[in-house]
Amino acid sequence: MIQTVTVEKEFSGNRVDKFLSEQFPDLSRSYIQKLIKDGHVTANGKIVKANYKLNALDTLALDKPELQEPDIVPENIPIDILYEDEDILIVNKPKGMVVHPSAGHYSGTLVNALMYHCKDQLSGINGIMRPGIVHRIDMDTTGSLLVCKNDFVHQDLAEQLKEHSIQRIYHAIVHGVIKEDEGTIDAPIGRHPIERKKMSVNYKNGKHAVTHYKVIERFKNYTYIKCQLETGRTHQIRVHMAHIRHPLLGDAVYGPAKCPFKLQGQTLHAKTLGIVHPRTHEYIEVDAPLPDYFISLLNKLKQTS
């Protein structure tokens, strides 16, 4: 697949690999450099090197080879179902489970489990690697996740997500004691300029992102909060809380590398999910119970406060 972009005057003099990594945030800089090395990037029809300096009005063409997607095998993996009818499924995703197959994770994912549970009754809008998936949560985030069984409900719920009308409330434990009882973080999020696998608050190239938070309980060095998403950017809560210097407990990516507790990733749980059912137009809301590790951690914090 060939994608083209015209270089504006303000980017004149920039390296082509840096420019393309900013233009295509879903592609890592190392992957873009490999495409350049393999001759898949041209400027005005001529193959360029990674250190090529851009000129205003250059026409860049990036030829991304189509990757053959592997067959996804249904697997008899237990699913904790919070709600199900003929159109939708809301599951309680456990910690450590990847939502859909990707490089290095072609089995043991939620999609493998869904294909076994739902057979061929999953929406196909997002392709063969993401059947039924209308939104995602991170591997180490637990809680409620919405699954679509057909394209009709998928299109409707995708529109609800786009319009920010789906109710999504997360519970989290963060470093530090938050003084105010509630607050709003309005800060755009984009790909980190250097560490391409991370996101960051990016006022230049980031997308609009808003998180509302409210304190549930304060401990000696930590705070238990709930966060309501107004938008749904990648790693939004993790990035926003780190931005106000209250990173999530256990989040080694956006917070301290060392954690005083033995945790597998960030302490974040998708607690409440509310939607308007596309077919019945009734409001449906489910609550995913806090996982055992989360409850145990809260008890430890109460004892030491």
Catalytically active residues are: 138
CA atoms of 56 and 289, how far apart (whole Å) = 55
Q: How far is CA 272 from CA 77, 86, 95, 121, 141, in A?
A: 24, 21, 17, 25, 13
Phi/psi of residue 129, each to 5°? -85, -15
Classify burial at 119, counting beta carbons within 10 Å of its beta carbon; exposed 0-12, middle 13-18, buried 19 or more.
exposed
Q: Please, are residues 229 and 135 in contact by the beta-carbon 8 Å criterion?
A: no
Shortest CA distance to 238 belongs to which of 226, 251, 224? 251
CA atoms of 61 and 173, how far apart (whole Å) = 45
